[in-house]
């Protein structure tokens, strides 16, 4: 088996990289894929809590790289999915403890027995990002419809292309259709136009994402969640399915529907 390494990056912090990684991991596993998610944010580990696996950690990424633990015994199996594993970041070390070459070596080993290796990149453009980028076959760039996040996404896009890992594909997170409609938020078309990237996911703002992180159960597992559905669609696009984008404008209220009535005039 020749698994695929997908790195999730953003440049800016707090836009939803870890949430995206956790949810894509769950979605791919629920589609029957064998998946490993790696937290590459050494010193600021978070993927474990988002996935609800924090109290099962024994070994971490640095332990593996430095030979203190075997790869298999360091991978934490997800509670619900047999074929979903987490490799957590070390919490007490810094990013220099791992090199890009270490990541290539590790992922090459993982490729043999898994379909997807998802790497949650740290924010920033330094060593941690380089570690996450080096083994990537594909890069997903998470951004929000907000000037600082889009600017940083552009910066990271340039670096990804310079490293010949591009072009990345875009996940636009936390979009609010009502605000877009009012002209008070960048639309997905705007962001695509500005960045010149293909888009693989448009994730609506959803309060259930917060509840999900509170409880450590990623939002894709909640069938009521629009964000969860949107992440699920990203996973299906990632495995090559042609999935139409959700019509987020459809819950536009009464006035939008009234406007549509008059549209023929």
Binding site for another protein (CB under 8 A): 146-147, 150-151, 154-155, 157-158, 161, 179-187, 190, 193-194, 196, 255-256, 258-259, 262-263, 265
- The least CB distance from residue 149 to another protein, in Å, is 10
Could you tell me the maximum CA-CA distance found in the chain, to the nearest angstrom? 72
- The least CB distance from residue 157 to another protein, in Å, is 7
Phi then psi for residue 195, to 5 deg, are: -85, -20
The residue with tokens 């924090």 is: 54
Q: 90 vs 186, which CB is nearer to another protein?
A: 186
- The least CB distance from residue 14 to another protein, in Å, is 18
- The least CB distance from residue 195 to another protein, in Å, is 8
Alpha-carbon dihedral 96, 100, 106, 111, rounded to 10 degrees = 150
Phi then psi for residue 160, to 5 deg, are: -65, -40
Alpha-carbon dihedral 166, 3, 132, 203, rounded to 10 degrees = 70
CB 31 within 8 A of CB 236: yes
Q: 182 vs 247, which CB is nearer to another protein?
A: 182
Q: How far is the C-alpha of 222 from the C-alpha of 218, rounded, in Å?
A: 8
- The least CB distance from residue 150 to another protein, in Å, is 6
**Secondary structure class of 76 (helix, strand, coil):** strand
Q: 105 vs 181, which CB is nearer to another protein?
A: 181
Q: How far is the C-alpha of 250 from the C-alpha of 183, rounded, in Å?
A: 17
- The least CB distance from residue 237 to another protein, in Å, is 22
CB 29 within 8 A of CB 109: no
Q: 112 vs 263, which CB is nearer to another protein?
A: 263
Q: 105 vs 176, which CB is nearer to another protein?
A: 176
Q: 2 vs 261, which CB is nearer to another protein?
A: 261
The residue with tokens 């590790």 is: 106
């Amino acid at each position: 088996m020749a698994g695929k390494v997908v790195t999730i990056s953003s440049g800016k912090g707090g836009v939803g990289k870890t949430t995206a990684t956790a949810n894509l991991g769950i979605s791919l596993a629920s589609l029957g894929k064998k998946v490993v998610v790696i937290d590459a944010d050494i010193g600021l580990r978070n993927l474990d809590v988002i996935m609800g696996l924090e109290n099962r950690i024994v070994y971490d990424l640095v332990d593996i790289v430095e030979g203190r633990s075997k790869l298999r015994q360091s991978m934490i199996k997800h509670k619900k999915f047999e074929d979903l594993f987490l490799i957590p970041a070390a919490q007490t070390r810094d990013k220099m403890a791992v090199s890009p070459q270490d990541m290539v070596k590790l992922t090459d080993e993982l490729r043999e027995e898994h379909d997807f290796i998802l790497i949650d990149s740290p924010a920033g453009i330094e060593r941690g990002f380089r570690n996450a980028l080096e083994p990537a076959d594909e890069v997903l760039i998470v951004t929000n419809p907000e000037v600082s996040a889009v600017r940083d996404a552009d910066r990271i896009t340039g670096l990804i292309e310079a490293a010949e890992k591009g072009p990345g594909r875009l996940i636009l997170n936390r979009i609010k259709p009502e605000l877009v409609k009012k002209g008070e938020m960048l639309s997905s078309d705007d962001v695509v136009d500005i960045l010149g990237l293909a888009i693989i996911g448009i994730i609506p703002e959803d309060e259930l994402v917060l509840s999900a992180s509170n409880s450590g159960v990623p939002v894709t597992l909640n069938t009521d969640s629009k964000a969860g559905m949107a992440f699920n669609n990203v996973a299906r696009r990632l495995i090559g399915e042609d999935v139409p984008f959700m019509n987020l404008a459809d819950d536009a209220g009464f006035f939008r529907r009234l406007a549509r009535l008059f549209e023929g005039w």
